[in-house]
Chains A and B, each alone.
Chain A
Amino acid sequence: MDLCTPLSHEVLMLRAGDRVTLSGTVYTARDEAHLRMMEDGIPFDPHGAVIYHCGPVIQGQKVIAAGPTTSARLNSLSGFLIEKGVRALVGKGGMGRQVADQLKGRGVYLAFTGGCAALAASRMTLKGVFFEDLGMAEAVWVIELDRLPLVVGIDAAGNDIFEGVHRNAQAEFKKRFSLKKEAPA
């Protein structure tokens, strides 16, 4: 499926494991930007918006490299965005149960291949920036996407592809090393 921002109800139909492309506007945000938005408010219209967990390399007016960062760092910082109408979070590595619950009936988590910064940049146009004082990696960059290839990591029904993989990994680990207690998640 080809998704285009602003996103609407169509994201509720997606299922974990689906491969999609995303076009339109995304807003990059990492730890510091989330904290700033919680304090000062969201500087863009959050309805149907997409947050991209990314700290890009920007040179002049150009996106040089912009792969995803580890989304799990933002597990406890994302609820307010979903409540305000954000429909998709894009990043890598998955998010926790807390976020999967917050996304239920509202939106999805989309995984992009970690490290694929050049591929991503080749499909991006820089449109603007908020909170530039936070520095290159932490500022909110406004980026126009052209068909970025993504996988639905968490769907709006709460299915989490990463959680399933972790459960299987834990079972295999216990079997192989005959653990009595569960390994930390």
Chain B
Amino acid sequence: MCEGNLPGIPSCMDSGTEMNLGTKQITNAVTGIPLQSRRITMYIPVHFKFHTSMIPTPDPGLLAAITRATCEAFRQAEITLPPDVKQAILTAKEHETSEIARGELANILANLEMAGALSVPICQDTGVPVVYLTIPPHVPLNNGIFDAIAEGVRMASREIPLRPNVVDPLTRENTGDNTGEGMPAVHVRPGDRLTITVLPKGAGAENMSRIAMMLPSERGQIPKFVAETMLIAGGKPCPPVILGVGIGGTFDGAAALAKEALLEPIDTMTSYEKELLAAVNALGIGPMGIGGRTTALAVKVKTAGCHTASLPVAVNVQCWACRRATVEVQC
């Protein structure tokens, strides 16, 4: 019964229920040679009540549902743009006066129609998988859920299909299935429902993103930093872009805020966001960097408290293909 103990968990007692913890490879601690693979079971004492969040293995049915939902979210995001983004592109086309700029936006709209009609990705850079997860209180959060999401990414890569984009950063060896160390990038927070939001992120725009540790006295310079980011970027990030701006927090936190800002709908903007947008569009870079009135469709800002001596500012550049989709898992 009591074939192996897990660290930190009480060993077997006289009475209780048996719990299956799956198969684990056991190795000899001295030689490192694998011993016969065996089933690990743990004996749970009756007086030791497990809270649901302590159960190490979530329902396999739920994990399968998470895998399917992840795949579906990618399918939706890769093939169909959210309505607010499509509307912003339509409005931009009306707003442009240059024939070339209108032509570029017309190509983008024709491309959206074609992707939908053929059920193929909008862009061949199907991005790296970025996933935002909300977990309700009754679902245990553990590696099983992360593995299920990674499996969903593999499924999406095969079925949609997605271009294999994930490589080792130094050897540049491609994993072939869009997963890898730290990929998919999964961000979790508690919620009242289990939702999977995906934001596949292409490299052309991501590569033009910037971060600055500004001085607290420089907060009036934020519009300049944001506009400068697009001045440097020019046509490279496939404008018209959407800019996610993270202000405050920590060095890494500002970048995370900037990316989260890209999840926000772009049909509303604060007056500060509109001010930043005006500064960017005044540059006249235009669709695809060949000139025009629409360099950015929107600017979205997220803020967080920061050190009194700090002002981290991050700009995450998103191409016009602002692909995001959310799928809820019933549980």
Contact = CB atoms under 8 A, between A and B. Distances in A.
Nearest to B239: A114
A116 interface: yes
A135 interface: yes
Interface in B135-172: 161-165
B114 A118 contact: yes
B204 A117 contact: no
Given A65-B121, A153-B290, 16 more contacts: A55-B124, A59-B161, A70-B204, A92-B236, A115-B202, A118-B111, A118-B115, A119-B110, A120-B111, A121-B118, A161-B290, A168-B284, A172-B284, A176-B227, A176-B279, A184-B232
Contacts of B320: 115
B123 interface: yes
Contacts, number: 173
Q: Which of A17, A137, A165, A185 has the most CB of B within 10 A?
A: A165
30 contacts: A55-B125, A57-B121, A57-B126, A57-B161, A59-B161, A64-B161, A65-B120, A65-B121, A65-B163, A66-B124, A93-B235, A114-B288, A114-B319, A115-B111, A115-B123, A115-B202, A115-B320, A117-B123, A117-B125, A118-B115, A118-B120, A119-B107, A135-B164, A136-B163, A136-B164, A161-B291, A168-B291, A176-B227, A177-B227, A183-B231
Given A56-B124, A69-B204, A151-B100, A119 B285 contact: no
Contacts of A67: 111, 123-125
A72 interface: yes
Given A135-B164, A173-B228, A115 B285 contact: no
B233 to A, nearest CB: 9
Interface residues of A, number: 49
Contacts of A169: 231, 234, 283-285
Given A137-B163, A169-B283, A92 B111 contact: no
B198 interface: no
Chain B binding surface SS class:
loop
Interface string B105-117: 0011011101100
Interface in B87-131: 100, 103-104, 107-108, 110-112, 114-115, 118, 120-126
Contacts of A119: 107, 110-111, 114
Give the size range of B's interface with the partner: 35 or more
A70 B125 CA distance: 11
Contacts of B228: 173, 177, 183
Contacts of B118: 118, 121-122
A103 interface: no
A127 B121 CA distance: 21
Interface string B180-221: 000000000000000000000010100100000000000000
A35 to B, nearest CB: 12
Contacts of A116: 107-108, 110-111, 123
B162 A165 contact: no
Contacts of A172: 282-284
Given A118-B118, A173-B283, A183-B228, A151 B164 contact: no
A149 B122 contact: no
